[in-house]
Structures are given as structure tokens and as C-alpha cells.
Amino acid sequence: MPTAGYNITWDVQGEHFFETGVDHCVLYVYDDSAATGKKYANGVAWNGITSVNEAPSGADANKMYADNIKYLNIYSAEEFGATIEAYTYPDEWAVCDGSAEPLTGMVLGQQSRQMFGLCYRTKLGNDIKGDNLGYKLHLVYGCMASPSSRGYQSTNESPDAITFSWEINTTPVEVPVLVSGKEYKPTAIITLDSTKFTDSTSLEKWNALLTKLYGSTTGGGTGGDEPVPGYLPLPSEVFTTLGGTLPSSAS
């Protein structure tokens, strides 16, 4: 609501923004031997996701004192973790969850765990368009899942489906020099806002990124009519796909 005499205006119609929901989750199992050079390739849909709780940690202040005063704060490294909850998971998740299947229908637990990447959406809304304003894409790299508990209960008068849960830790990937003279720390997460790509030129670039993430029904093979699987591009490729130009030193 405008307030007379002030430069700042509160509660303008259309500026009551919010973020909600989670959907379109994609799993990319890491494959260092991929001949294509795409380490996070062959993305598969992860249905049944009920929540992704992002949990950054670190960046704690280590207080230094001198001359009887607080002299400075030194901050610890920041880490990114998350908790995934779901009713189900794709078959490809087995190697990420420490399972192996030597024979169809026979699953061994407590095996080596494979690194993976994730992509998921959260919806954006405001007081005019509700939750149809747009969405954010969350790209997560270097993920490893920790063992999780599973509670099986007898069916009763109030049956409910089992919810699976996994704690996720990450190892950041390198971020090259994207802008001349600007250095970035390694990161495990990139967040992208669809509402910033609305004109025809930027929307075309946004759709090009979606095609990389989700794959396409045509475009592969010599005839160009075979499905192409999605993959998780690294930060520099995300940057260039969305219209950025890498400095000559980073290309």
C-alpha cells in the first residue's frame, strides 16, 4: 500500500509473491565413463516425490578477538544438503541407494553407492495469477545418498502408503570464469527463474535448456527420429545455453 511521503511502497498488487510445491523431478546417475562426455546423462523421471527439503549448512562464524575487542569473523565453508521424501523411486535409483540386482527380482543391499544429480521444479505465484506465475528450476550436482530407515506397518482402518526418505550430501562442481574478472566458488546447486525469460529470444534459450534437461522425442540417430535422453549440463553449459558468452580464457 502506498504511503505518502515515502519512496518505498508496500503491498503493491501483483507483488505478493510466493513459492510452493515440487514436481518434474529428474534423476541423472553419474557416469564418468560416458563416451559422450556428459557425466550426468540419461535422465529419468522420478515420480512420487512428496518433498525436497534443501538444507544448506556451514558458513559458521569463527570469532577472532584482539585488543580486547572482536577483531574479525572468519567463516567456515558452506555446504549443500537435502532430504528427499517420496512414495516411490525409479529403477535407476537402486545404484544410488546402495543396491545391486545380480538376478532379476533379487536385490542385494549395502553395496557401493553411485553419485547422481537432480533437477526439480518449484512453482512461483502471486496474488493475481495464483501459483501459475512461473517456476524455478533447481539443478543439484555431486549428490550422494545416505542409508535411510523404512517403517513397515500392518494395514489397519487408516491405511497409508510408505514414504521413503533419504539424506543427501553433495560435492560441489567447479564453476569456471563466466564473467571476465569474476571468480566463482564451486557450487552444488543452481537455481533458475523462468519468469526472467519471457521475451521471444530468451524464451527460446530457456526452452533449449529444458530440451537438454528433459530430452526430446526426436532428434537422435541418423534419421533424426529417435528419442534423445536428457542430461544435466554443468554450470558453464547452463550459462552459455541461456545466452551467456564465456570469456576467451574460460572457453
**Of residues 111 and 150, which shows the higher confidence score?**
111
* Residue 139 or residue 68, greater confidence: 139
Cβ–Cβ < 8 Å for 146, 98: no
pLDDT at 251 over 60: no
Each residue of 113-139: pLDDT tens digit?
A: 999 999 999 999 999 999 999 999 999
**pLDDT higher at 179 or 248:** 179
Q: Which three cell numbers stand for residue 141?
A: 550436482
Q: Is 65 exposed, middle or buried (0-12, 13-18, 19+ CB in 10 A)?
A: exposed
Whole-number Å distance between alpha carbons of 143 and 141: 6
Return the half-sphere exposure (C-beta side, CA atoms, 13 A cut-off) of residue 240. 14
Q: What rounded mean pLDDT belongs to the chain?
A: 90
End-to-end CA distance of the chain: 48
Q: How far apart are CA 199 and CA 29, in angstroms?
A: 34
Burial 140-179 (b: 16+ CB within 10 A, else e): bbbbbbeeeeeeeeeeeeeeeeeebebebbbebbebebbe
From residue 28, alpha-carbon distances to 40, 119, 147, 184, 221 in Å are 5, 8, 19, 24, 22
pLDDT of residue 250: 58
- The answer to whether 142 and 117 are in contact (CB under 8 A) is yes
Query: Is pLDDT above 60 for 51?
Result: yes
pLDDT of residue 210: 97
The closest alpha carbon to 19, from 206, 187, 195, 140, belongs to 195
Share of the chain above pLDDT 70, in %: 95
What integer pLDDT is reported at residue 44 of this predicted model?
97
What pLDDT score was predicted for residue 249?
62
pLDDT at 2: 53
**Model confidence at 67: pLDDT above 80:** yes
pLDDT exceeds 90 at position 3? no
Which of 43, 6, 21 is closest to 215 using CA atoms?
A: 43
Q: pLDDT by residue (tens digit) across 201-236?
A: 999 999 999 999 999 987 655 556 788 899 999 999
pLDDT, one tens digit per residue, over 167-214 is: 999 999 999 888 888 899 999 999 999 999 999 999 999 999 999 999
Query: With contact defined as beta carbons under 8 Å apart, do 162 and 149 qualify?
Result: no
How far is 140 from 27, CA to CA, in rounded Å? Answer: 10
When pLDDT is cut at 50, 70 and 90, the band that residue 4 belongs to is low
